[in-house]
Amino acid sequence: MYLVTAQEMRDLESYTINQLGIPGHVLMESAGRAVVDQIVKRFPNPKRVVVLAGTGNNGGDGFVVARWLAFRGWEVDLWLIGSAVKLTSDAKLYYHACEQLLSIHHAEKESEASLQAHLMMCDVIVDAMLGIGYSGMLREPFTSIVQWINQHAESYIFAVDMPTGVEADKGHVFPVALRVDETITFNCPKWGHYLLPGSKYCGKLKVVDIGITPAGHTKALTPNARLNDPNDWNMYLGGRKQWAHKGTYGHVLIIGGAKGTLGAVAMAGEAAYRMGSGLVTLTVPESQHEALAAKVTQEMIWSWPGKDHFLPEIAEELKTAFQRYDAVVCGPGLGRFPGEVRFIKEILQTVKRPLVLDADALNILAEHPHLMQFRANDCPTILTPHPGEMARLLRITTEEVERKRAAVALQLAYQTRSVVILKGRYTIIAFPDGKRVVNTTGSPALAKAGSGDILSGIIGSLLAQEIPVESAIQIAVYIHGRLGEEVDAHSALYRDLLDHIASIRQLLEPTNSPGN
Ligand SMILES: NC(=O)C1=CN([C@@H]2O[C@H](COP(=O)(O)OP(=O)(O)OC[C@H]3O[C@@H](n4cnc5c(N)ncnc54)[C@H](O)[C@@H]3O)[C@@H](O)[C@H]2O)[C@@H](O)CC1
Ligand SMILES: Nc1ncnc2c1ncn2[C@@H]1O[C@H](COP(=O)(O)OP(=O)(O)O)[C@@H](O)[C@H]1O
Ligand SMILES: [K+]
C-alpha cells in the first residue's frame, strides 16, 4: 500500500475529478459514508454524537457523516467551527442539506460552555474540523477546542482523515492535536499517520477506499513510499526445497563479540539459523573463542587474529576466506578498539557480498564517514541505526532524528549509497534510489537489549539466501516486528522472540508452496 503526502493525495483527487469526471461532491459523499460505516461497525446501536465540522472539505465530510448518522437514528449535535461564508463549494452543498434536517450550532455564535456541555454529554465525537489541508501553527478556536477535549472528554473519538492538529506530511503537532481513538483515512495512509509525534494521536488507523484513482495507477501519480506489505515479497517465502543441502540456504558470517558482549553475536547467529540459514559462522577475537564455544552449539567459530580485539590487518588468505560467505553482518557486540578504522575499511573493501553494518560498526563509521568511499558501488551495504546511532552518523541530535525520521533516513541512504534501516516504532527503510518503506509491525517488547542483534541476524540470513536485497530487508524488518507482537511485552527474552519465527514465517508463506 502506498503512503502519500497531502499533495500526492490532492493530485490523485484532482485526476479523479478532472480526468475521470467524477465530481468532488461524489467523492465527499463516499468519504462520509465510509466513515459512517466504520462508526456503526464500532457502535451498532444509535448513540449520541457531536460532529465537529470545519469549513474546508474535511468539514464537508463531517456534514455527510452527520446526515447519515441522523438517518440511522443517532442523536446528532452538529457544530460548525468557523464562518459559514468560508465553506468550500462541496462542503456548502452538504451544509445546506444538513440545515434541512438538523439545527446546526455555530461555534462563532455560541458560548464555549455550550459546546463543552454538548461534548460532555455525548457518547461519540467525530472530528471533521481539519484534515490534510491543515498546516502551520494551529489557530483558534481549534487550539482551545482540541485542548479542552483532550483534557475533559470521555467519549469515543473518530477522526476523519487526520486528527485535527496533526500535519499530514511530517506528523508535526504545533502546539496541540486531538488525541483520538480511531482515524479513518481515505485511499492511502498519509505520512503524518506514521511519523512522530502525530502518530501518537491517531489511535487505530483504518484506510477506506472511496473511489479516488488508486495511487500507482498512473505512472505520473506513483508515490515513492509504501507500507511494508507481505504481498510485495511473500513469494520469496516458499517451503524448504526437498533436495536442499546445508549450502542451499546460504552461509552467513557474523563479525563481533568483544569481551563482555559475546551474547550479541550468539543471538544474531541463532536468529540467522532460525530464519533458515544452512550455515552460520561467528567471528570473534582469539581470546573470546573459548567463552563463545561454551555458549553456542550449532554455530561455527572463526577465531580472528588478535588477542583481546580484532587485529585490523587482513592477510591475503583471510581475504580469500571471506569469499566463502554469502552475506556478512559486522557490528553486534563489536566494541571499540585500536585499529578499528583500518578494520572497518578492510571489511568494506574485502566483503563483496551484501554487508550489514550494525551497532559499533556504525559508530566507527559515524566518526569516519570517509570510510564509505572504500565500498564498491555494486556491493550492497545495509546500515541499521537506531535513532541514537543515526544522530551520531548525521551529527544531529536524537530529537532531530525523531522529528525528521523519514527525511534523515533518506539523507543517509543518499550520502552512503546504502540501504538504511532507521529502527524504532515504525521503522523506516530508505533505499539509495529514493524509495522508502514504512514498517508497521512491532511492539515495545522489542525495546530490550538484544532485539537489534536478532534483526541483524535475520537480515543476514535472508540476504545469504539470495533473496533480492530490497525484499530480504523488508521481510526481515516485518518478521522481526511481528515477533515482538507475539510475546509478552514486559517479560519476553530473546529466545521467546525466536520461538515465533517458524509460525510467523508459515503464516506469511504463499499458500500451496511446498518447495521443490
Ligand atoms: N483529497 C481527497 O482525496 C479527498 C478529501 N476529502 C476531504 O477533504 C479534506 C481536505 O480538504 P481541504 O483541502 O479543504 O482541507 P481541510 O478541510 O483539511 O483544511 C482546510 C481548512 O483548514 C484551515 N487551516 C489550515 N491551516 C490551519 C491552521 N494552521 N489553523 C487553523 N486552521 C487552519 C483552512 O483555513 C481551511 O479552512 C481531507 O482531509 C478529506 O477529509 C474528501 O472529502 C474526499 C476526497
Ligand atoms: N517500542 C517499540 N516498538 C516497536 N519496535 C521497537 C520498539 N522499541 C524497539 N523496537 C525495535 O527493536 C529493535 C531494537 O534495536 P536496537 O536499539 O539496535 O537494540 P539492541 O540494543 O538490542 O541492538 C529495533 O528493530 C527497533 O525497531
Ligand atoms: K479531522
pLDDT digits (tens, 9 = 90+) for 13-37: 999 999 999 999 999 999 999 999 9
Task: Report whether pLDDT(196) > 60.
Answer: yes
pLDDT value for 434: 97
Residue nearest to atom 12 of ligand 2 (CA): 446
HSE-up of residue 227 (Cα within 13 Å, Cβ side): 20
pLDDT value for 295: 93
Pick the atom of ligand 1 nearest to 28's CA.
43
User: Counting ligands in written order, which one lies closest to the CA of residue 334?
Assistant: 2
| Confidence at 313, pLDDT banded by 50, 70, 90 | confident
Provide mean pLDDT across the span 187-207.
97
User: Of 64-73, 90-99, 306-315, 383-392, which gets the smallest average pLDDT?
Assistant: 306-315
Task: Report whether pLDDT(396) > 70.
Answer: yes
pLDDT one-digit tens code per residue, 124-135: 999 999 999 999
- The alpha carbon of 397 and the centre of ligand 2 are apart by a number of angstroms equal to 18
User: Counting ligands in written order, which one lies closest to the CA of residue 13?
Assistant: 1
- Annotated binding site for (6S)-NADPHX: which residue ranges? 57-61, 131-137, 161, 264, 333, 386, 453
DSSP string, 107-156: TTTS-HHHHHHHHHH-SEEEEES--TT--SSPPTTHHHHHHHHHHH--SE
Provide mean pLDDT across the span 412-436.
97
- The alpha carbon of 48 and the centre of ligand 1 are apart by a number of angstroms equal to 25
Ligand 2 proximal residues by C-beta, below 6 Å? 359, 386, 423-425, 427, 442-444, 446-447, 449-453, 455, 480, 484
pLDDT value for 513: 53
Task: Report whether pLDDT(512) > 70.
Answer: no
Task: Report whether pLDDT(514) > 80.
Answer: no
Non-local CB neighbours of 486 within 8 Å, separated by 6+ positions: 497, 500, 503, 504
Pick the atom of ligand 1 nearest to 135's CA.
26
ipTM of the complex: 0.94
Task: Give me the phi and psi of 329, to 5 degrees please.
Answer: -115, 125
Domains of the chain: 6-223 (3.40.50.10260), 231-236+247-508 (3.40.1190.20)
CB 474 within 8 A of CB 231: no
Residues facing 254 on adjacent strands? 282, 329
pLDDT one-digit tens code per residue, 161-191: 999 999 999 999 999 999 999 999 999 999 9
pLDDT value for 516: 44
Pick the atom of ligand 2 nearest to 423's CA.
27
Non-local CB neighbours of 511 within 8 Å, separated by 6+ positions: none
Residue nearest to atom 21 of ligand 1 (CA): 56
Q: Report the chain's mean pLDDT, rounded to a whole number.
A: 95
Residue nearest to atom 32 of ligand 1 (CA): 139
Pick the atom of ligand 2 nearest to 424's CA.
27
pLDDT one-digit tens code per residue, 2-17: 999 999 999 999 999 9
- The alpha carbon of 485 and the centre of ligand 3 are apart by a number of angstroms equal to 29
- Annotated binding site: which residue ranges? 57-61, 127, 131-137, 161, 164, 264, 333, 386, 423-427, 452-453
User: Counting ligands in written order, which one lies closest to the CA of residue 126?
Assistant: 3
Task: Report whether pLDDT(308) > 60.
Answer: yes
CB 78 within 8 A of CB 53: yes
- The alpha carbon of 161 and the centre of ligand 3 are apart by a number of angstroms equal to 6
251-255 β-sheet, strand order: 225-227, 436-438, 428-430, 419-422, 381-383, 355-357, 327-330, 251-255, 279-285, 300-304
Q: C-alpha cell of 271?
A: 536468529
- Annotated binding site for K(+): which residue ranges? 58, 127, 164
Q: How far apart (Å, rounded) are the C-alpha atoms in residues 342 and 338?
A: 9
Task: Report whether pLDDT(51) > 50.
Answer: yes
Among 486, 457, 452, smallest CA distance to 472 is for 457
pLDDT one-digit tens code per residue, 135-146: 999 999 999 999
pLDDT one-digit tens code per residue, 429-485: 999 999 999 999 999 999 999 999 999 999 999 999 999 999 999 999 999 999 999
Q: C-alpha cell of 342?
A: 583500518
Sheet strands (E) in 324-416: 327-330, 355-357, 381-383
User: Counting ligands in written order, which one lies closest to the CA of residue 185?
Assistant: 1
pLDDT one-digit tens code per residue, 326-368: 999 999 999 999 999 999 999 999 999 999 999 999 999 999 9
Ligand 1 proximal residues by C-beta, below 6 Å? 9-10, 13, 27-28, 31, 54-61, 88, 130-139, 142, 160-161, 186, 212
Task: Report whether pLDDT(260) > 90.
Answer: no
